[in-house]
Each structure stands twice: as C-alpha cells, then as structure tokens.
Structure 1
Amino acid sequence: MDVSLMIDSVPRLLEGAVVTLKLLLLTEIIGFVFALPLGILYANGSRAVRAPIYGFVYFFRGTPLLVQIFIVYYGLAQFEAVRHSLLWPWLRQPFVCALIACALHSAAYTTNILRGAIQAVPAGEVEAARACGMSAFQVQRLIVLPVALRLMLPAYSNQAIGMLKGTSLASTITLMELTGVANTIVASTFSPYEIFIMAALIYLAITLVITRCFKFAEYALSKHQRPLASAAATPEQVRHAD
C-alpha cells in the first residue's frame, strides 16, 4: 500500500468533498421545501389531491437515481425549446442537472416520510387542540407539524445519509465531486485501492458528522420527554447529596 500517495491525494479529494457537501446541502434544502407542502397534502388531502402526489413519489422512489440523473442531463437537451430558453446556460451544467435530479429524488422520499410522521401524531393531541378552539391551520402549525418533524428525524437522517451516497452518481455526468475526483486520480496513478480507501474514509467522516447533527437535533427536541434530575433522584440520593 502506497501511504504517501494516499496522503498526497487528500487535498484534491477534499476539493471534491466540498462539491459533494454543496450538492448534498442544496439537495436537502430544496427537497425539504418541496416535500413540506406535498407531505401535508399527501396526508390530509382528498383522493384527487393525493393521486398526483402518489404518482410523483412512486416514480422517484421506484426508479434508480442514476436513471433520473441521465433523464435530466441528457433528456432536457433533446427539446429545442429548452436549448433556446434563457435557462439553457444553467441547465447545460452538470451540477445543476445533478441538483435537479437529486432534489426531486430527495423530495419524493421526504414527502413519504413526512406523510407517515403526520399520520403517526397521536389523535388525542389533535382532538385536544380542536377542543381548545384552534383552527385547522393552527392545529397543523402548532400541534401536528412540530410533533411530526420530531418523529420523522430518525428516518430523515437515513434519507440524508443515503442521499450523500447518491451524490456519487453525479460523477457519471462529469461532475467533479468526491467520487469524480477519485476516478480522475485513479486514471492517472493506476492505484484504485489507495485512492478509493481515502475517498471512503472521507465519506465516513461526513456520515459521522451528519449522524451527530441529527442525534443532537433529536436530543434537543425531546427535552420534554426526559424527567427532571430532581424528580428522578431517589430520597437516598438526595440525603447522600446533602
């Protein structure tokens, strides 16, 4: 194993990791913005409203992300109206195409996760809010959504980690993110073992940070579920402390 090559490759791999993080962050932000209203309508809307949302979720969950990236990157260029539009300078860029595909993919998964979390909110809490005279909008904003967002965090963290790994597929359309940079280094050094080990370690480090962030969020949002230290202490512990 060439340790010196592994160390020398780190700066270039980190440059690719920056692109990966940028793609992941924008994907999750855009995906969540789209998923929030879709998840609410998917859980509470009429059948006519749920049908197109179901189709959207079914398509993006049922087809590979790689195929979706190819459809956006190669498919949009087939339309003359797109090539002559003002958006073409943006839509011809690999990063933008990867972002569109990944954001739609993330939105579909997040929509389904949010729907399940909304339906898991205890019915008693909703009934109590209605009994207090809250409107339907107030019930959703003050009761349902805060509880649902807390309930969806474990599944959403898995989705974010899966999306991190999915960004590696953007290298197939010449985007120089972490995997793309690793492939470039391998092509010039013919040392795939060392280079991909370093890339894997960087992916693991990013995954660890994401996991810790979600753990902290779960801990911060569940303070009301933890007993107070004074209430949990036994009388013997209190006398011993005195």
Structure 2
Amino acid sequence: MSPDLFQPAFDAVGSGVWLTILITVASFVLGQIVALPLALALISPRRWLWFPASVYTFLLRGSPLLVQLFIVYYGLAQIEAVRDSFLWPVLRNALYCAILTIGLNSAAYSAEIIAGGIRALPKGQWEAGHALGLHRASLLARVILPQAYRSILPTIGNEFILVLKSSTLASVVTVMEMTGAARVFVARSYAPFETFFIAGIIYLLMGAAIGWLFKRIERRVAIPGR
C-alpha cells in the first residue's frame, strides 16, 4: 500500500462519479415508472393482466442482472430486426443499455414491493372508497396508493441503494462509471487496494446520502402521532 497513490486513485475514480449518479437516478426513475403499472397488474383479478406481470417479475428477479445486461447489449444486437428498428439507436449505446437493463430489473423488484404494500392495506379502505362513489382510478390515486407508498417508502429507499450498487455492472459493457474508471486505473498503476478502497468509500457515502434523503421524506409524509 502506498499513500502517494490515494490522490491519483481518488482523481481517477472521481471522474466516473457523475456517470454513476446518472445511471443510478435514470435507472431508478425508469424502474419506478414501469413498476407501478406492473404492480397494478399483479393485484388485478384478471388473469390476462396478472399472469404476464408475474412472468416478468419471475424472470427478471430469478436471473442474474449481469446475464440480463449481456443479453440486452450483446444478444439483441445479433437480431437483424432489432438493428433495423427504431430501438437500435438506443440499444447500440452501452450507457443506454445499462440504464434500460438496470431500470427494468429494478421495476420487477419494485412492482412486487408496491403490490405487497397495496395488499397489506385493510379491505375497508377499498370498501369505504366504493361507498363514497369513487371510481377505481380515483380510489387508487387518492386513497390506496398514497397509503401504500407511505408504508413501503423505506423499502423503496433500499431499492434505490440497490440500484446504485447495480450500476457497478455497467463497467462490463465499457461504460466508464466509477467501477470502470477504477479498473482502468488499476490496470495502469497496479494499485487495487488504494483504488477500490477509494471507490468503496465513495459508494458508501452516496448510499448514506440516499438513506438520509429517504429518512427526510419519511418524516415529511409520516402520519402525525406515529
């Protein structure tokens, strides 16, 4: 271990911080957007809705994220119809593929979280809404989802941190976020301890910041007296 290498290692790893933040935030937002309709499909009594959603969550939660990333980035490029489609400008870009894959993977986990939060609500909430004459969409938007999200907010915060950790896999498809930048520096300097120690500290601080943010949000939306 050489103390003189910590500063160069910090500079090298730091060059990928903003790309890591971009991948993490974009993937998390995409995951939450996709997760809500998936969760509503999971709780639907209609088989043609819940069955495809269940298959989706089963496949993406049951297979490694790294394999999914390889399939999206390397596998889809082998299909001529994909190369000729409007999706090709996105799928040929490693950064977009990483965001898409991590986001869709996060959506599978988040959908089960949201569906669990909705199922945990007392049935009286639904009955009271129907008694007031609320349509299903209004009942979900005004009564059910606010309560469900309030109860699952800590778990959603944990999912955000897991997305941050998943962003490290983007380096395997040539995206130079923090882990990718760290690997390049290690190949030049042969200083893995200093480099990945710095990277680990930065990831730890970023995870702590996300945890702090969600704690603040929890306090803001908490029911008074609880």
Structures share a fold, TM > 0.5? yes
Give the SS at the match of 1:144. Answer: helix
Q: Name the residue aligned to 1:163.
A: 163
1: CA distance, partners of 2:68 / 2:225: 41
**Amino acid in structure 1 at the alignment position of 2:205:** A
Q: Which moves more between the two structures, 77-86 or 176-185?
A: 77-86
Aligned-partner Cα distance in 2 for 1:45–1:206: 40
Is the 2:9–2:194 contact (alpha carbons within 8 Å) kept by the matching residues of 1?
A: no
Rg bigger for which structure? Answer: 1
**Per-residue CA distance 1:90-143 (angstroms, 9 max, x = gap):** 321110111111111011111111100111112222222222222222211110
2:143 counterpart of 1:143:
yes
SS at match of 1:224: coil
In 2, Cα distance between equivalents of 1:162 and 1:221: 23
Partner letter of residue 149 of structure 2?
L
Alignment-derived partner of residue 62 in structure 2:
62
The alignment covers a number of residue pairs equal to 226
Cα-to-partner distance string for 1:3-61 (whole Å, 9 max, x where unaligned):
22112222331221211110010001111111111111211341221000000000000
Q: Are 2:23 and 1:23 equivalent residues in the alignment? A: yes
Give RMSD over aligned pairs: 1.4
**Counterpart-to-counterpart distance in 2, 1:48 and 1:5:** 58
- In 1, distance between residues paired with 2:190 and 2:158? 34
Counterparts of 1:1-242 in structure 2 under 5 Å?
1-226=1-226
Q: Secondary structure at the match of 2:12?
A: helix
The higher-RCO structure (CA 8 Å, 6+ apart) is: 2
Equivalent-residue separation in structure 2 for 1:28 and 1:206 (angstroms):
14
For normalisation by structure 1, the TM-score amounts to 0.89
User: How far apart, CA to CA, are the structure 2 residues paired with 1:114 and 1:204?
Assistant: 26
Residues 48, 34 of structure 1: alpha-carbon distance in 2 compared, 3 angstrom cutoff: same
- State the identity as a percent: 38
Alignment gaps of 5+ in structure 2: none
Q: Scaled by the length of structure 2, what TM-score is found?
A: 0.95
Aligned-pair CA distance for 1:86:
4.2
Could you tell me which amino acid in structure 1 is paired with residue 83 of structure 2?
R
- Cα distance in 2 between the residues matched to 1:132 and 1:91: 47
